[in-house]
Amino acid sequence: MGLALAEKLLATGIAVTIAGRSAERLAQARAKLGNAPRLQTVAADATCEEDVVRLFSSAGDIDHIVSTAADVSGVYVLLPSMDISIARRVLDSKVIAPLLLAKHGAPRLTAGGSITFTSGIAAYRPAPKGTVVAAINGAIESLVYALALELAPIRVNAISPGWVDTPIWGSVAGEGAAVTLAAMAKRLPVGRVGEASDIAHAIEAVMRNGFISGTVVHVDGGQRLV
């Protein structure tokens, strides 16, 4: 989703910095984005405060901050098998990382700036083995409401994706990912699962609309209704 958003913003002439933990994966992302001159890549772990400080120290003034980071590998298990250190890692990537990005990024935001995080359908359609992700997605949404007040007039929002065909499904369902996604597509009112570009489109809309703050935008093909 982050890659799709970067592609969309670069196409409109906006300068974009993308961050991730792996220099190698960032180089692949840069190549996919056509080595765009307005693109910067920074290797940084968003759960590490030192890395987040370094990320912003080289950035100058910023108009918008978006986090789509999540490290969910190994977390989809029933409670008796749960390794709490894995639950903490997921919490770090989806809640603590956004907190750090807000803490160190907000002072650099220009007037009219915004912060957008990514929660998810699991908060509304929880399932066995999805306990940790359900709780974390709910936490992100409450974080957004509180930060929208504390950081005002900076706008703070979340996008809540439904099931979207991205590499995360390798961690969620392994080799069964395609079958699982196809079964969900049949159930959804829109008749398909999401594409990363669906989410990128919604994030861009929230970034640009100066009257949206403290809001969770659902981009889930109607999944909350089925």
Residues of this chain that bind ligand NAP (CB under 6 A): 1-2, 19-22, 25, 45-47, 68-71, 93-94, 97, 118, 120-121, 161, 163-164, 166-168
Q: Minimal CB distance to ligand NAP: which residue?
A: 120
Our CB check for ligand NAP shows the closer of 91 and 154 to be 91
Reduce the secondary structure of the chain to three states and give it as a string.
CHHHHHHHHHHCCCCEEEEECCHHHHHHHHHHCCCCCCEEEEECCCCCHHHHHHHHHCCCCEEEEECCCCCCCCCCCCHHHCCHHHHHHHHHHHHHHHHHHHHHHHHHEEEEEEEEEECCHHHCCCCCCCHHHHHHHHHHHHHHHHHHHHCCCCEEEEEEECCECCCHHHHHHHHHHHHHHHHHHHHCCCCCCECHHHHHHHHHHHHHCCCCCCCEEEECCCHHHC
Least Å from the CB of residue 153 to ligand NAP: 26
Least Å from the CB of residue 197 to ligand NAP: 11
Least Å from the CB of residue 203 to ligand NAP: 10
Least Å from the CB of residue 19 to ligand NAP: 6
Our CB check for ligand NAP shows the closer of 180 and 209 to be 180
Our CB check for ligand NAP shows the closer of 70 and 207 to be 70
Our CB check for ligand NAP shows the closer of 73 and 110 to be 73
Least Å from the CB of residue 133 to ligand NAP: 7
